[in-house]
Structure 1
Amino acid sequence: MALDVNLNRLAVFAALVRAGSFTAAADQLGTTKAMVSQHLAKLEEELGIVLVVRSTRRMSLTEAGELFHADCVRILADAEASIERLNACRETPRGLLRVAAAGDHGPTIVAPALAAYAQAFPDVTVELVIADSIVDLIAERFDVAIRLGWLRDSSLRATRLAGFRQIPVGAPDYLARHGNPDHPADLAKHHWIALAVLSSPTRWTFTDATGGEHAVRTNPVTSSNSTHAVREFVRAGHGISVLPDYMLADDLASGALRPLLPGFHLPDGGIHAVYPGAKPSAKVRAFIDLLRERVEAR
């Protein structure tokens, strides 16, 4: 059965042996001679053995005290080294950085940032896991997840990196066959490609120039849990949908897709870095800073 020993008393015992007297040990520890004596007495009581023989003029270690002192010095040295290693980890990025991101932004936004991060911090090994579902950061041992949209209530901490616009789009071929919607209510008559991972993939609320809101329920002909797949369905002329602006720059520039309902807009979404714990580690903090710079530059 393990002894119930207050480990703080080990430091007092080691200081006593190092100083050579109760008075000198009290001076080094910033306490009183009586307190040092009390700690030693409690330690001997907890261990059930005499460590120090003391008289009015001197003190000496028993044989058990000699053995225990050697172990105390080693234990305290190991503890100090461990604390120094933790301090180094807190101040310098090192170790494994596991990042989770969804398929619509993980390969195009997060992966290039991780490549730049790995070059800047060679003591860190990076791992990117692409998953369109919400991962459990703690259970699956992720350091950080990059999430887009609107965060759910959570005990996790989050840092907002940037925002993005939601844009309703359609392919020229589809619009030539079915016409352009002029009002959000018209979307209910169109073929809709739904992104299944959204909390309400068929309900949308648009705002006009005066601040008026216009809610509509769409009728999906196809759905997918992948934003990239939704984009390809729309590009193929299968229907229309809403996509984030960071996916649309090339398609809008080339004319492969056309923006719809220019007089109306949807709420902007956010790009967030989500991490467990009250304070991010050095490696997570450095990655968040780098990713924020790259996202803002886009």
Structure 2
Amino acid sequence: MKRDVNFNRLAVFVALVRAGSFTAAAVQLGMTKAMVSQHLLRLEQELGATLIVRSTRRMALTEAGAAFHADCVQLLEQAQAAIERIGDRRNTPTGTLRLTTSTDYGMAVVAPALADFRKLHPQLSMDLVINDQISDLIAERFDLAIRIGWLRDSSLRAARLGGFRQLVMATPAYLAEHGVPRRPEDLAAHPWIAMSALNAPLRWTFTRGSGTRRVVRMRQAMQANNAAAVRALVLHGAGISVLPDYLVQEDIQAGRLQVLLAQYRVPEGGIYAVYPDPQPPAKVRGFIDFMRDRLASR
């Protein structure tokens, strides 16, 4: 038969046995002697068994009380160990870090960062899921997502890690054949490779140092749904497009791509860690700090 037992009384019972008297137990527990006695009486009533027999001078465990005391000590030790393990997880990265991000940023930045982060914490396992769709972090049991661009409204928590510039790019061979745009308006005459995942992939605002703003509508020649695909099309001479700096640094250094209209800036994007847990464990906090420092040093 199921019994309703107040588990707080177990700790009082164990403290009473350890102290050896109601008076000493009351001092240790910070309560009155009468309260200790009342807790024991209620516990015995809930169990339907006598645990301690007492006289005016001494007390002793019954046979049932001795067996129950041994079980209670073990139960409380297990509870304390569980509490300590939670504390360890709060302070030491452990378990599996499961995260998701977009294809282009995941391949170019997050995967190398994860490899280096694990070198610092070899006890961690890593589970990286690359997906250009917005994942449901709670339903799919992700610890966090690294998201690029502009965040949508969400009940999730977010921490900004850094930002990235967007650069107008073309190959030297394309420019030799079609000419170099000198003004933002010149881009409208060139075939544009659109990033279809953007809200307005053909409408771009260019800002100069003086604050002058120019809005240009492009002429779409092709489109792709992620930046890595757009980069591949640009590299093959299909036209001009805007690409994030983290994806084209090596192309610029190697001379495969050329930055156009460098005196202008287009809107910069943010890099965010998004996570569902209001009190994220150490593995999440640690990776967020690691990524923030890594991006700041680039």
How far, CA to CA, are the matches of 1:121 and 1:203 in structure 2? 44
CA distances 1:256-275 after superposition (whole Å, capped 9, x unpaired): 22222333211221222222
CA distance in structure 2 between the partners assigned to 1:8 and 1:173 by the alignment: 78
Tell me what 1:201 maps to.
201
The answer (yes or no) to whether the contact 2:108–2:247 under 8 Å persists in 1 is no
Given residue 294 of structure 2, which amino acid in structure 1 is its aligned partner? R
Q: d(CA) in 2 for partners of 1:41 and 1:199?
A: 69
d(CA) in 2 for partners of 1:206 and 1:212? 8
One-letter amino acid matched to 2:12: V
Q: Which runs of 5+ in 2 are unaligned?
A: none
Residue number in structure 1 paired with 2:235: 235
Q: TM-score, normalised by structure 2?
A: 0.90
CA distance in 2, matches of 1:218, 1:43: 78
Alignment partner of 1:280: what SS? coil
Whole-Å Cα distance in 2 between the matches of residues 187 and 38 of structure 1? 85
Identity %: 58
> What corresponds to 1:133 in structure 2?
133
Question: How far did residue 229 of structure 1 move?
Answer: 0.8
Query: Aligned residue for 1:184?
Result: 184
- Take 1:129 and 1:86, find their aligned partners in 2: how far apart are those partners? 26
Residue of structure 1 in register with 2:107 after alignment: 107
Q: Is the CA contact (8 Å cut-off) linking 1:133 and 1:197 kept in structure 2?
A: no
Q: Any idea what the Cα deviations from partners look like across 1:51-78, whole Å, max 9, x if unmatched?
A: 3333333333333322221211111011
* Deviating 4+ runs (over 6 angstroms): none
Question: Partners of 1:63 and 1:76 in 2: how far apart?
Answer: 20
Which segment is superposed worse, 255-264 or 140-149? 255-264
Query: 1:186 Cα shift?
Result: 4.0
Aligned AA for 1:67? A
Alpha-carbon offset, residue 188 of structure 1: 3.8
In the alignment, which residue of structure 1 is the partner of 2:271?
271
Counting matched residue pairs gives 298
Instruction: Tell me the distance in 2 between the aligned counterparts of 1:3 and 1:180.
Output: 83
Residue 80 of structure 1 aligns to a residue whose secondary structure is helix
**Aligned-pair distance for 1:226?**
2.2
What is the TM-score with the length of structure 1 in the denominator?
0.90
1:17-28 to structure 2, matched below 5 A, reads: 17-28=17-28
Contact kept? 1:207, 1:213, Cα under 8 Å: yes
Residues 3 and 47, structure 2, Cα contact 8 Å, conserved in 1: yes
- Written as runs of structure 1 = structure 2, the 5 A alignment for 1:274-289 is 274-289=274-289
- Residue 243 of structure 2 aligns to a residue whose secondary structure is strand
Greater mean alpha carbon deviation, residues 40-49 or residues 110-119 = 40-49
- Residue 193 of structure 2 aligns with an amino acid whose one-letter code is I
After superposition, the CA RMSD in angstroms is 2.2
For the Cα contact (< 8 Å) 1:195–1:230, is it kept in 2? Answer: yes
Partners of 1:84 and 1:98 lie apart in 2 by 23
